[in-house]
A and B are shown apart, each in its own frame.
Chain A
């Protein structure tokens, strides 16, 4: 069974530039999560989708971050414009149901210069 796929694996940008991350969940998983993990900390939930609807985006900085999950499968997370403090690993996860075991992708390491 294929796992959660993410791309790119690494990205370096200048502050004020834009960046987008892509995630493809495990086939059949209805719930998709985006997390931000700063070095030395546990992941912080940014947004949770159930199919193509948003379950929780209370910690998403909506002035610069946006996410979508069209057709309830793939998802894209965008940052525009990026700030230095956005440097982190962005993790995508999926689960079969809303309250269920989560499976993570390899993450995208973002460096903002």
Chain B
């Protein structure tokens, strides 16, 4: 059974730092992995989608990588800003367990 883990559950860093968020999974038979951000009381905003055949995707200051062999994806945020404060969630679409979300990492950027 696919399990998705996001550690740490919460992270606070000063503005301007580069940071990495982690997403681990147990079953490498996935179709894709998607990263989202969720602001308090809001829905999810899609950040990046990585297909199973891809190793990474980039959008602006964000870079997401995928390593199926180690069961890990990372979301790299460069030059963090207070506006980046949100909860970041990863979701897998796998052949066995369909769509599974992690519990998220709550990120706080201190001015």
C-alpha spacing A103/B18, complex, angstroms? 27
The answer to whether B46 touches A102 (Cβ under 8 A) is: yes
The answer to whether A107 touches B93 (Cβ under 8 A) is: no
The answer to whether A48 touches B31 (Cβ under 8 A) is: no
Total chain B interface residues with beta-carbon distance under 8 A: 22
Q: Of the candidates B31, B89, B98, which one forms a contact with A42 in the assembled complex, judged by CB atoms under 8 Å apart?
A: B89
The answer to whether A48 touches B102 (Cβ under 8 A) is: no
Q: What does DSSP make chain A's interface, helix, strand, loop or mixed?
A: loop
Q: Which residues of A contact B4 (CB under 8 A)?
A: 42
The answer to whether B49 touches A101 (Cβ under 8 A) is: yes
A101-B49, A104-B44 known; A44+B93 contact, CB < 8 A:
no
Measured CB to CB, the residues of A under 8 A from B are: 4, 33, 40-45, 48, 56, 58, 91, 93, 99-107, 109
